[in-house]
Amino acid sequence: MRTWYRANLGGLPGAYWYLWAGTLINRLGGFAVLFLSLYLTSARGLSPAAAGLVVGAHGVGGALGVLAGGVLADRWGRRSTLLACHAAATVLMLALAFSPWLPVITVVTALIGFAQQMAPPAFVAAIVDVVPEPDRTRAFNLQFWAVNLGMAGASLLAGMVAEVSFTLLFTLDATATFITFVILLLRVPETGAARESGTAPNEPRGGLHTALTDRTFLTFVGLTFVLAVLTLQTSTILPLAMRADGLRPSAYGLVTAFAGVLIVLGQLFVPRLITGRVKGRVLAVAVALLGLGIGMVGGADTLPVYLVAAAVWTAGSMLAAPPNAEINAELSPPELRGRYQSVFYLTFPAAGFVAPAVGGWSLEHLGNWHWALCGLVGVLAAVGHLLASPARERRVAATIATPPRVSAASGRR
């Protein structure tokens, strides 16, 4: 047990654990987005189409918030950005809980998306700042585990709370956000550009355009986008396939819960499997497994087969999470780390639009061949990782060999 503890949990900085705790609490209390559409249709009387537009406002705000969070994490610092977005999200969530007017609800929902999505680039940049490179596999693995554990807990709790009161649901979400704010305020130091006390943060050389013209980085982001689109097939298009096979919604819930349990139980053992291996090869295996599992849906017509497919694609997701985050960190220049994170995190709202839109069209016109196509895309993405890996490795090696640029602010250290 002691050996397992040291291999998986030991040696990580205290600041990391407070960031980890904040992530877990945020996800565990992240009720609002899960039940927002149900709240709008049942409690506010909106049509599904109108509710979709309001929820879409959350997504648009989130996309803008990701970019703002990355820029501010570099300019203000990671801690300052995290404190600002959590304070804003707390107030906005309370406003959503008690606002009776639809126009206000729509605007507040968009602002909540903006505030909430400011956090991920700053969170990840802070983790990269405080965790030494040899420990990042474990750190990102544990973060992925916390996200899934929190989401699983939120899914269970939110349903029970929603049956009591939607106002209570949003209030508890605001409370969890505020608890995270307090943890960050009291226990997490500034780790980014503004960490030198008494000095203004140095304006980094470059900006968003640097990340958006970095070919090696954009190749990696593109492959991550493919991974995200494939992953979202399991939450957006899979229920349609299961319904067509005559399975009840509870069957889809069981498949989702099964995948979540596998992650909670198995994710902590992933570092031992992948440590010391070439990250590009690990990602290639991961995306191939993801594609294989999703491709198996085309031949599935009973719940046991769906569960086997879920086990395969979940294994791919588990293997992909740590190296994906590590490569993202390695390719990000320290002075532009927040901006690079924001470009990386844009893949997820983009995939959130493309996956259901293209996937729904594909399923309607191609039938079960849609799933075979997903499997082929997974294989092609795996090949892409193998081809792109040498250039990424050379880039990282060159970065390590080059001394960091000493700025006016850092020269005093």
pLDDT of residue 107: 93
Question: What are the two backbone dihedrals, phi and then psi, of residue 194, each rounded to the nearest 5 degrees?
Answer: -100, 20
Say whether pLDDT at 283 is over 70.
yes
Mean pLDDT of 145-159: 82
The answer on 210 and 180 residing in a single domain is no
pLDDT in tens, 301-335: 899 999 999 999 999 999 999 999 999 999 999 88
The CATH number covering residue 322 comes to 1.20.1250.20
pLDDT of residue 404: 52
pLDDT in tens, 162-189: 778 888 989 999 999 999 999 999 999 9
Q: Is 92 in contact with 46 (CB distance < 8 Å)?
A: no
The answer on 346 and 233 residing in a single domain is yes
Asked if residue 68 belongs to a domain, the reply is yes
pLDDT of residue 50: 80
The answer on 249 and 112 residing in a single domain is no
pLDDT of residue 201: 47
| Confidence band for 47, pLDDT divided at 50, 70 and 90 | confident
Q: Which of 412, 342, 409 is nearest to 202 (CA)?
A: 409
Say whether pLDDT at 410 is over 60.
no
The residue type of 351 is A
pLDDT of residue 197: 41
197-205: long-range contacts at Cβ-Cβ below 8 A with a sequence spacing of 24 or more? 199/409, 201/74, 201/75, 201/76, 201/77, 201/409, 202/335, 202/407, 202/408, 202/409, 202/410, 203/75, 204/74, 204/333, 204/335, 204/336, 205/335, 205/405
pLDDT of residue 221: 96
**236 Cβ partners below 8 Å, 6+ apart?**
355, 356, 359, 360
As for how many domains the chain has, the answer is: 2
Asked if residue 87 belongs to a domain, the reply is yes
Give the residue with greater pLDDT, 239 vs 343: 343
pLDDT of residue 200: 44
Asked if residue 65 belongs to a domain, the reply is yes
Lowest-pLDDT range of 38-52, 56-70, 118-132:
38-52
| Confidence band for 93, pLDDT divided at 50, 70 and 90 | very high
Give the residue with greater pLDDT, 344 vs 239: 344
The answer on 357 and 394 residing in a single domain is yes
Mean pLDDT of 339-362: 88
| Most confident segment among 230-239, 253-262, 272-281 | 272-281
Q: By residue range, what is the domain housing residue 273?
A: 206-402
Asked if residue 197 belongs to a domain, the reply is no
Asked if residue 151 belongs to a domain, the reply is no
Asked if residue 71 belongs to a domain, the reply is yes
The answer on 359 and 226 residing in a single domain is yes
pLDDT of residue 159: 73
Say whether pLDDT at 1 is over 80.
no
Distance CA 100, CA 283 (A): 47
| Confidence band for 413, pLDDT divided at 50, 70 and 90 | very low
**170 Cβ partners below 8 Å, 6+ apart?**
31, 32, 93, 94, 96, 97
Q: Is 77 left (phi over 0), alpha (psi -120 to 50) or beta?
A: left
The answer on 57 and 119 residing in a single domain is yes
The answer on 186 and 216 residing in a single domain is no
pLDDT of residue 6: 56
| Confidence band for 249, pLDDT divided at 50, 70 and 90 | confident
Q: What is the mean pLDDT of the chain?
A: 87
Going 81 to 207 to 343 to 65, the CA torsion angle's sign is positive
Mean pLDDT of 157-162: 78
Say whether pLDDT at 157 is over 90.
no
Reported pTM:
0.83
pLDDT of residue 229: 93
Asked if residue 410 belongs to a domain, the reply is no
Residue 93 gets which letter from DSSP?
H
Distance CA 313, CA 289 (A): 6
| Confidence band for 402, pLDDT divided at 50, 70 and 90 | low
* Burial label, 407 (beta-carbon count in 10 A; 0-12, 13-18, 19+): middle
pLDDT of residue 409: 35
Residue with tokens 């990840």: 124
The answer on 350 and 258 residing in a single domain is yes
* Burial label, 89 (beta-carbon count in 10 A; 0-12, 13-18, 19+): buried
The residue type of 267 is Q
Say whether pLDDT at 3 is over 60.
no
The answer on 311 and 214 residing in a single domain is yes
The answer on 91 and 45 residing in a single domain is yes
Say whether pLDDT at 293 is over 90.
yes
The answer on 91 and 232 residing in a single domain is no
Quickly list H helices, 76-101.
78-98
pLDDT of residue 132: 92
Asked if residue 236 belongs to a domain, the reply is yes
CA 70 centroid distance within chain? 14
The answer on 186 and 239 residing in a single domain is no
